[in-house]
Chain A
């Protein structure tokens, strides 16, 4: 069935290093992908999105890469800061419908 999953449940990085969080998806009909950040006690917060007609999109300190050939999505965070510590979710949807499917999440821990 449809699934969105993450390769690593936890990731620990040193402050200032770059972080890479990976996500695999299985529904080839998905054409819109989103990364969310969830801090403890809060709702998910949008970070960046990418449509299936793109393979890379950059934001402020974040980059999302999409490889449709292997159905893989990644989030790169440059110069990771303690405030980046959170759980990160990838999500996918089909542009024709409203159903959004989330991955299980990766917990990012930034060591000072």
Chain B
């Protein structure tokens, strides 16, 4: 089944403790992206990647890192999480960066205390 998977689905952590949220797609998509969703603010793009070893900042990249060493994986790294990073995170992928449908993962609910 073609899909985008994220792990973990739920995470509660403390300020400053490094964490990684994994994202994987099995559709051989070149383009992958991370979003955060907050009430009243909709979905905001954190980082995106047009291909392996190519990443770019979205609208809200501060406090996040990403890497794209393989085509299928695009992990989101929070080196020192803070409470303002408490949010619902979505990973997405598409064939390319152009006019292609983006497929979203199920989301990761992160709480930083």
Which residues of A pack against B, CB within 8 Å? 32, 34, 41-46, 49, 51, 89, 91, 95, 97-105
Contact = CB atoms under 8 A, between A and B. Distances in A.
Interface size class of B (residues with CB under 8 A): 20 to 34
B43 interface: yes
Most A CB atoms within 10 A — which of B43, B49, B102? Answer: B43
Nearest to B90: A43
Contacts of B98: 32, 95
A89 B48 contact: no
B50 A89 contact: no
A44 B4 CA distance: 12
B65 interface: no
Contact of B101 (A41, A42, A49, A97): A49
A43 B4 CA distance: 10
A104 B42 CA distance: 4
Contacts of B44: 102
B53 interface: no
Interface in B86-104: 90, 92, 97-99, 101-104
B21 to A, nearest CB: 14
Query: Which 10 A/B pairs are nearest by Cβ-Cβ distance?
Result: A43-B104, A98-B97, A102-B43, A104-B42, A46-B101, A98-B48, A32-B99, A102-B42, A44-B104, A43-B90
